[in-house]
Amino acid sequence: MKDWYLLYCKRSEQERAVINLDRQGVECYYPQVTVQKVVRGKRVEAFEPLFPSYMFVYFDPEVVTYTTVRSTRGVANFIRQGAVPQVVQPDLIYGLMVNEDSEEQRKKLSHLPQPGETLKLSKGQFKGIEAIYQEPDGEKRSFMLINLLGKPVKVSVKNEDIRNK
């Protein structure tokens, strides 16, 4: 009988795992979201996994064995409860599939402040300081312009340390 399972994939090898598992008749699903990224100085929209390095697979262990799936290129291992791979409830998977492409979900996950927007830092070494958002700096950091001793200084801070004024 077919069930959904959760796999941990090798870093950035989900696509390779999907191709190889598909050849074996294993259905694969990993939710993706649209995020805004800076590539070569330009802001672009890109698809990224909602859960990096994790993938849901649907198969019958009597047809395709756990060992075969685990040994597939790109796959690291099953998420287990004890020695047995953990079965994932189908309602969870279908809920993710339904909400994956919603406009509201995209806005939540891809919101970045606009350059020039005044923000207040909520965590970290600059907590409580007002700053002017300059530009994104990678996945989890942003450049901010803060005023230290009367002189504007450009610093890099974690995105979760920022809150709107």
CATH code 2.30.30.30 region(s) in the chain? 118-164
pLDDT (tens digit per residue) in 153-162? 666 666 666 6
Which CATH fold would you assign to the domain 3-110?
Alpha-Beta Plaits (3.30.70)
Per-residue pLDDT at 10 exceeds 60: yes
Domain 118-164 is in which class?
A: mainly beta
Taking the C-alpha atoms of residue 102 and residue 133, their distance in angstroms, rounded to an integer, is 28
pTM of this prediction?
Answer: 0.60
Mean of pLDDT over the chain: 79
